[in-house]
Structure 1
Amino acid sequence: MAALAVAGVASAQSSVTLFGVVDASISGYSNSSRDLNNGVTYNANGLPVAYNPFYRNQGSVKLSRRELAHSGYNTSRLGFRGTEDLGGGLAASFWLEAPIKNDDGSEGAATFSRRATVSLSGGFGEFRLGRDYTPTFWNNSVFDPFGTNGVGTNLIHTAGGLFGSPTRASNTVGYFLPPNLGGFYGQVQYGFHEQTKYDPGFATPDKADIARKGRYVGGRFGYANGPLDIALAYGSNITGDNYFAGTTDKVDIFNIGASYDFGPVKLLGELSQAKQKTDFDGYYLADRLSLTSTKLNGWLVGVTVPVGPGLIRASYSGVKYKTDDLNPFYDKPDPKANKLALGYVHNLSKRTALYATVARVSNKNGAALTVGGPSFIGNKVFTPKNSTGYDFGIRHAF
């Protein structure tokens, strides 16, 4: 009886929830490349140096695939979360969330790589420790009608991930503002690189990526009240380093997103810039001049329209790469891509929905972004061009 009484007190002060999403779709992808050569050979400055009158254009080549996929509408996952009331307005919480591949069962709750945090919250806000989403990711997701899932995912998120903009960061300490600030919200996050520091510094092994790689710093602040939601975010992610060369490779990300719900229609949009750069701590000016940087500028406009129990979704997004190659004689055309996505979600209940999405990416000047599926054939002959895809699926949340 005493044990039961203790258990009753414990259950009254805390709660644990099992939750998840199982999402499956029939998805198809088709990615085509074209031979854009005309027999002319160009040098590094973009000047023609040779012509082959016998060159025969090889046309185009297409790679396609159809599969039973997952996470076309919402990401499939399995999670556990819980909260304990500590009294005095304080609460301790945990969140463990694992990705699952329900199409073949090859991945399950063996790793909580989606989120693994423990936190303490109160009137001061919330302190959260562990692996968590980065602040810059939230604008990519919240202001995308497709929520960065399936073939409809906006190009800002797709290209940013390849560029080095992380969705999640490990080993982080985060702080979130309290929710009672009249619509204002925000967070800051620091991720430890957990690299070994040597004293004196010359004892550091002469290897790459062992001094600072892995550190993340970011923040997001916004305002949501009624139909309006607007937020800006910044993040800096160290992707590599070389201690003795005095270089640190990093990706800096800035984005701003907004949405406004008019009732019959909701408009969404985002602007983003990510910059790959190398910070140099050396002494020689020649080394400093040899460094290059690349920018990725992106934009997104989207709309959602409620129709009875369903929702129409549409978005148009684009990205453009800008490389500072320090060539004063020739500026190569900037790679760029645009994407159009259309979709419909039919809610059978609050937890179950049917959905359909189609999308197409148009690449120019050597960009090679896809809606998913196989990679482009890209070489000296073929240049990536168009990518199309579809998702038809069902999502159940519990």
Structure 2
Amino acid sequence: MKKSLTAFAALAVCGLASAQSSVTLFGVVDAAVTYQSATSRDPVTGATIKSSKTSLGNSGYNSSRIGFRGTEDLGGGLAASFWLEAPITNDDGATGISTFSRRSTVSLSGGFGELRLGRDYTPTFWNDTVFDPFGTNGSGTNVISTVSGNTTINNANYVRASNSVGYFLPPNLGGFYGQLQYAFDENTSTSATSTTAATSSNAGRYVGGRFGYANGPLDVALGVGQSIAVDTTTLERKVQTINLGASYDFGPVKLFGELSSVKNKFDTALTNTHDSYNGYLIGATVPVGAGLIRASYSQVRYNEGAAGVTGEERRELHRQPGLGQHHGLRQHRRDLHGPAALVDRLRLRHSPRILRTDPREEKEGSAAPFFSCCIRMRRCVPVAALRGAVHPAPTAHAPAPAARASPTSAPRRRHAHARSSGTRPGPGRCLPRARSGPAACDRRA
């Protein structure tokens, strides 16, 4: 039975035929006990309602996931790779490897950079997560990300875009990095005069880019993108995003900052209007022994006009401070799995209305402390080792297969894998800025 499973694994990756090929199984299992409380007040009657909830959830610190990635050295400086990543809900087991909606890409990389096809993160999302000490996950997620991903704006291409073609600059540009991405709407074009969501419509199209500079402790990047959310004969709605983020590591403390501007534009035959959501974030991380203290403050100012999504004028200011502490319990082993982590975070949120013209219910505040345990796992399976396990030993007239790499050479093989498939070897939680894009923390959404 063991030999059959080994043979099946070898057949599954038979396309990666050279000794430089490898397939990696990776994942995160995160469980969190969460307590939430909120107080709501009716601005007309003054009546208050208090509510609270205690639950066991997933993805409190890291997003729970499981995935497969692989690479093959094509020679001549070229490499082919793939990445399939699926979300999992380990709290109830309802979601497993049923969809690779987190990422599903195939890539070709070389001295020219990397060409990546499939479903991937958008360039404008990177700044929201890279320059957030909490990495847009859990209760510490900044309000810039919360507003950009809410159902009011309804931007399906905020975090990821499907059917995309992406290009990443090569890593040898003296610290400069960048990417461009175009996502097809895949709607049918017809000669009919009417425009619907399925015919002659650009709804779903995304165009964006991100360029930055990273050298030593400094990292700064600018992201710009536009997503077409609605495109009919009566309305074209576009979501335009511009953000600028930076971080600087002084050693005892690392500082983060971001400026963000999101416009929800409405173009009709008679008028052109837009809603705006302008915000900023400041934050810091302080290493303390085996742990890390995180702190952030973010705010977004709403400016929604009468022609906006809500159909009425609304001006609001949303603020959110965040404080958290992370403590690693186990040293990282590069070839098997990462550390387990205990997290204790407190989020205080206050969203006062600056100008309110509607009697809708108002939330005065909420607090959500929680305890989270996260385990990361990674296993690299050399294809050459799989082949050696299922093929007979070589005869005197046949050359011996490539020997299985020693532990000292394994990191070099993973480095070659990282250059082509966009993963960084070792215990770091961040992806490289080179061909795979920005240094995106694994805590991303």
Alignment of 1:230 with 2:237, yes or no, is: no
1:80-99 matches, cutoff 5 A: 80-99=68-87
CA distance in 2, matches of 1:100, 1:8: 27
CA distance in 2, matches of 1:173, 1:106: 31
Alignment of 1:186 with 2:178, yes or no, is: yes
Q: 1:263/1:392 Cα in 2 relative to 1: closer, same or farther (>3 Å)? A: same
Q: 1:396 Cα shift?
A: 0.6
CA distance in 1, matches of 2:326, 2:52: 25
Q: 1:8/1:109 Cα in 2 relative to 1: closer, same or farther (>3 Å)? A: closer
- Contact preservation (8 Å) 1:136, 1:234: yes
Alignment of 1:254 with 2:246, yes or no, is: no
Q: 1:295/1:11 Cα in 2 relative to 1: closer, same or farther (>3 Å)? A: same
CA distance in 1, matches of 2:41, 2:283: 30
Residue aligning to 2:316: 335
The two structures have a TM-score, normalised by structure 1, of 0.83
SS in 2 for 1:181: coil
CA distance in 1, matches of 2:136, 2:28: 15
Residue aligning to 1:70: 58
- Contact preservation (8 Å) 1:26, 1:392: yes
- Contact preservation (8 Å) 2:305, 2:313: no
Residue aligning to 2:395: none
SS in 2 for 1:363: coil
Counterpart residue identity of residue 114, structure 1: R
Alignment of 1:241 with 2:231, yes or no, is: yes
Residue aligning to 2:391: none
Q: 1:83 Cα shift?
A: 0.2
- Contact preservation (8 Å) 2:119, 2:161: yes
SS in 1 for 2:126: helix
Unpaired stretches in structure 2, ≥5 consecutive residues: 1-6, 333-337, 378-445
- Contact preservation (8 Å) 2:262, 2:277: yes
1:273-308 C-alpha deviation (Å, 9 max, x unpaired): 10001234x4xxxx22xx531000111000000000
Q: 1:214/1:333 Cα in 2 relative to 1: closer, same or farther (>3 Å)? A: closer
Q: 1:80 Cα shift?
A: 0.2
Matching residue within 385, 390, 393 for 2:364: 385
Alignment of 1:33 with 2:40, yes or no, is: yes
Counterpart residue identity of residue 289, structure 2: G
1:24-73 C-alpha deviation (Å, 9 max, x unpaired): 11111112211333xxxxxxxxxxxxxxxxxxx44311222110111111
1:217-366 matches, cutoff 5 A: 217-242=207-232, 244-245=233-234, 247-280=235-268, 282=269, 287-288=270-271, 291-325=272-306, 334-349=315-330, 350=332, 351=338, 352-365=340-353
- Contact preservation (8 Å) 2:113, 2:170: yes
SS in 2 for 1:151: coil
Q: 1:9 Cα shift?
A: 9.0
- Contact preservation (8 Å) 1:336, 1:367: no
Q: 1:385 Cα shift?
A: 2.0
Q: 1:150/1:193 Cα in 2 relative to 1: closer, same or farther (>3 Å)? A: same
Unpaired stretches in structure 1, ≥5 consecutive residues: 38-56, 369-378
The two structures have a TM-score, normalised by structure 2, of 0.75
CA distance in 2, matches of 1:367, 1:227: 41
Counterpart residue identity of residue 68, structure 2: F
Q: 1:208 Cα shift?
A: 4.5
Q: 1:326/1:176 Cα in 2 relative to 1: closer, same or farther (>3 Å)? A: closer
Q: 1:364 Cα shift?
A: 1.8
Alignment of 1:395 with 2:402, yes or no, is: no
Alignment of 1:20 with 2:24, yes or no, is: no
CA distance in 2, matches of 1:113, 1:392: 27
Instruction: After superposing the two structures, state which structure 1 stretch, 131-140 or 349-358, moved more.
Output: 349-358
SS in 2 for 1:103: coil
- Contact preservation (8 Å) 2:43, 2:359: no
CA distance in 2, matches of 1:326, 1:218: 26
CA distance in 2, matches of 1:383, 1:175: 44
- Contact preservation (8 Å) 1:60, 1:382: no
- Contact preservation (8 Å) 1:164, 1:251: no
Q: 1:381 Cα shift?
A: 6.0
1:107-144 C-alpha deviation (Å, 9 max, x unpaired): 11100000000000000000000000000111011100
- Contact preservation (8 Å) 1:358, 1:388: yes
SS in 2 for 1:10: coil
1:76-105 C-alpha deviation (Å, 9 max, x unpaired): 100000001000000000000000111111
Q: 1:84/1:9 Cα in 2 relative to 1: closer, same or farther (>3 Å)? A: closer
Regions of 4+ moved over 6 Å: 6-9
Residue aligning to 2:410: none
Q: 1:192 Cα shift?
A: 0.2
CA distance in 2, matches of 1:130, 1:147: 23
Alignment of 1:160 with 2:145, yes or no, is: no
SS in 2 for 1:364: coil
CA distance in 2, matches of 1:153, 1:183: 28
Residue aligning to 2:398: none
Aligned residues: 351
Instruction: After superposing the two structures, state which structure 1 stretch, 206-215 or 64-73, moved more.
Output: 206-215
Q: 1:9/1:296 Cα in 2 relative to 1: closer, same or farther (>3 Å)? A: closer
Q: 1:177/1:30 Cα in 2 relative to 1: closer, same or farther (>3 Å)? A: same
Q: 1:353/1:320 Cα in 2 relative to 1: closer, same or farther (>3 Å)? A: same
SS in 1 for 2:125: helix
